[in-house]
Amino acid sequence: MQDENPNDAILPNERESIDDCHFRYYEYGKTGAIKPTYGRPTYLREFAHMAAIGWTQPDNLTILWQCGGSLIWENFILTAAHCTADANNTQPDVARFGDLNLFDDSDDQYAQQLKIIEVIRHPQHRFSARYHDIALMRLERRIELHDTVAPACLWTDDEIRFKAFEATGWGATGFAESRTPILLKVSLTPVERESCTSHYSGIRGLRSGLHEYQMCAGDSKMDTCPGDSGGPLQVKLLHNTRLTPFIVGVTSFGTACGFSVPGVYSRVAPYVPWIQTVLRASGEDAQDWQFEPHACALRYVHLREYEPSVVLHSSGENEQLDLDEAHLFGTSSAQVVSIHWNETVAPGNRECYGVIIDRSTVVTLARCTQANGVPPSHVTHLGNDSNIVTRHHRHPDYREHSLLNDVGILELKDPFEFASSWDFYPACIWSRKNGMDGKLTVSGRGLRALNEIVEKEPEINNSTLKKTINTVGVVVTQNGTNCTIPRQYATKLPNGLSAEHLCFGAEPFLVPKTCDLAYGGPLQREVFRWGRRLMYVNALSLLGKDCGFGESAVAVKLSHHVEWLQSVLLPPRTIEKAAETRPFVFLNPDLEEGDECSTQDRSAGVCVNAQYCPKVAQGFRQNRGVTFCQSGSLVCCPHRYIRNGTNEEWQEIDRCNVDHQGGEEDMDEAPLHMPLFRRFPLFGPTQNGIAFVREQSSHRERW
For 603, other C-beta atoms within 10 Å of its C-beta total 15
Q: Is the pLDDT of residue 491 over 80?
A: no
For the chain, the average pLDDT equals 82
The CA distance from 133 to 119, in Å, is 13
Percent of the chain predicted with pLDDT > 70: 79
Beta carbons within 8 Å of 173's beta carbon, 6+ residues apart:
179, 180, 184, 225
Residue 30, pLDDT score: 67
Average pLDDT of span 332-353: 81
Residue 46, pLDDT score: 85
Percent of the chain predicted with pLDDT > 90: 49
Catalytic residue among 49, 122, 132, 229: 229
Residue 199, pLDDT score: 87
Residue 260, pLDDT score: 72
Quick check: is 208 catalytic?
no
Average pLDDT of span 437-442: 92
Q: Is the pLDDT of residue 215 over 80?
A: yes
C-beta of residue 150 within 8 angstroms of C-beta of residue 300: yes
C-beta of residue 672 within 8 angstroms of C-beta of residue 611: yes
Q: Is the pLDDT of residue 330 over 50?
A: yes
Residue 547, pLDDT score: 96
Residue 181, pLDDT score: 66
Least confident of 500-514, 547-561, 624-638, 667-681: 667-681
Least confident of 44-53, 564-573, 575-584: 575-584
Average pLDDT of span 657-686: 34
Average pLDDT of span 390-417: 95
Q: Is the pLDDT of residue 298 over 90?
A: yes
Single-letter residue type at 565 = L
Which conformational region is residue 515 in: left (phi greater than 0), alpha (psi within -120 to 50 degrees), or beta? beta
Catalytic residue among 22, 122, 133, 552: 133
The CA distance from 615 to 637, in Å, is 9
Beta carbons within 8 Å of 492's beta carbon, 6+ residues apart:
403, 543
Single-letter residue type at 342 = N
C-beta of residue 340 within 8 angstroms of C-beta of residue 362: no
Percent helix / strand / coil, the chain, rounded to 5: 20, 35, 45
Q: Pinpoint the alpha helices (H) of 169-266.
A: 193-197
Beta carbons within 8 Å of 384's beta carbon, 6+ residues apart:
none
Least confident of 184-188, 316-320, 408-412, 638-642: 316-320
Quick check: is 133 catalytic?
yes
Residue 256, pLDDT score: 62
C-beta of residue 447 within 8 angstroms of C-beta of residue 513: yes
Q: Is the pLDDT of residue 65 over 80?
A: yes
Q: Count how many Cα atoms sit within 13 Å of the Cα of residue 701 in the half-sphere of its side chain.
A: 10
Beta carbons within 8 Å of 610's beta carbon, 6+ residues apart:
616, 617, 633, 634, 635, 672, 673, 675, 676
Catalytic residue among 82, 122, 199, 395: 82
The CA distance from 587 to 702, in Å, is 11
Average pLDDT of span 413-437: 86
Q: Is the pLDDT of residue 549 over 70?
A: yes
The CA distance from 558 to 541, in Å, is 11
Q: Is the pLDDT of residue 23 over 60?
A: yes
Each residue's pLDDT tens digit, 360-401: 999 999 999 998 889 999 999 976 778 999 999 999 999 998
Which pLDDT band, with edges at 50, 70 and 90, does 303 fall under? Answer: very high
Which pLDDT band, with edges at 50, 70 and 90, does 1 fall under? Answer: very low
Quick check: is 601 catalytic?
no
Residue 228, pLDDT score: 80
C-beta of residue 148 within 8 angstroms of C-beta of residue 100: no
Residue 644, pLDDT score: 65
Beta carbons within 8 Å of 250's beta carbon, 6+ residues apart:
70, 78, 79, 80, 133, 134, 230, 231, 232, 233, 265, 266, 268
Residue 474 backbone dihedrals phi, psi, to 5 degrees = -100, 120
Average pLDDT of span 113-127: 97
Each residue's pLDDT tens digit, 140-159: 999 999 999 999 999 999 99
Average pLDDT of span 278-284: 97
Higher pLDDT, 557 or 699: 557
Least confident of 305-309, 442-446, 620-624: 620-624
Residue 613, pLDDT score: 85
Which pLDDT band, with edges at 50, 70 and 90, does 459 fall under? Answer: confident
Higher pLDDT, 179 or 342: 342
Residue 174, pLDDT score: 45
For 639, other C-beta atoms within 10 Å of its C-beta total 11
Each residue's pLDDT tens digit, 570-598: 877 544 444 444 455 666 777 888 888 88
Residue 3, pLDDT score: 52
C-beta of residue 568 within 8 angstroms of C-beta of residue 582: no
Q: What is the largest CA-CA distance in the chain?
A: 114
Q: Is the pLDDT of residue 659 over 60?
A: no
- Whole-model pTM: value is 0.78
Residue 222, pLDDT score: 55
